[in-house]
């Protein structure tokens, strides 16, 4: 039996956010190339995951920012 979660966070998809139903999260990611999503039992962790663009830790977030921002913190095209 697959593990179930209380919240489903979608960081990149057709729609981003935190969903309470897997069916809603699935609709937000289905057909979206390289969708980033994860299940959580904590609402706070789910919101943090979305806010960090799918980074799982502060270290991951720092690496993402370092590769996607210039010296002034402005986003650069990838």
Tell me how far apart the alpha carbons of residues 24 and 30 are, in angstroms, rounded to a whole number: 10
pLDDT of residue 57 exceeding 60: no
Q: What pLDDT score was predicted for residue 66?
A: 55
Tell me the pLDDT tens digit for each residue of 16-37.
999 999 999 999 999 999 999 9
Q: Is residue 75 part of a domain?
A: no
CATH of the domain at 45: 3.40.970.10
Domain membership of residue 52 as a residue range: 7-68
State the total domains in the chain.
1
Region 40-56: mean pLDDT is 91
Q: Identify the residue whose tokens are 């977030």.
A: 61
User: Two tokens at 33?
Assistant: 């190339």
pLDDT of residue 51 exceeding 90: yes
Q: Is residue 22 part of a domain?
A: yes
Q: Is residue 1 part of a domain?
A: no
Chain center to CA of 40: 11
Q: Is residue 19 part of a domain?
A: yes
């Amino acid at each position: 039996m697959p593990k179930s979660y209380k919240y489903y966070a979608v960081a990149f998809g057709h729609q981003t956010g935190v969903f309470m139903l897997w069916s809603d999260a699935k609709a937000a990611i289905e057909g979206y190339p390289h969708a980033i999503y994860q299940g959580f039992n904590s609402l706070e962790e789910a919101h943090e995951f979305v806010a960090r663009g799918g980074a799982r830790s502060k270290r991951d977030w720092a690496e993402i920012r370092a590769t996607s921002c210039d010296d002034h913190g402005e986003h650069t095209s990838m």
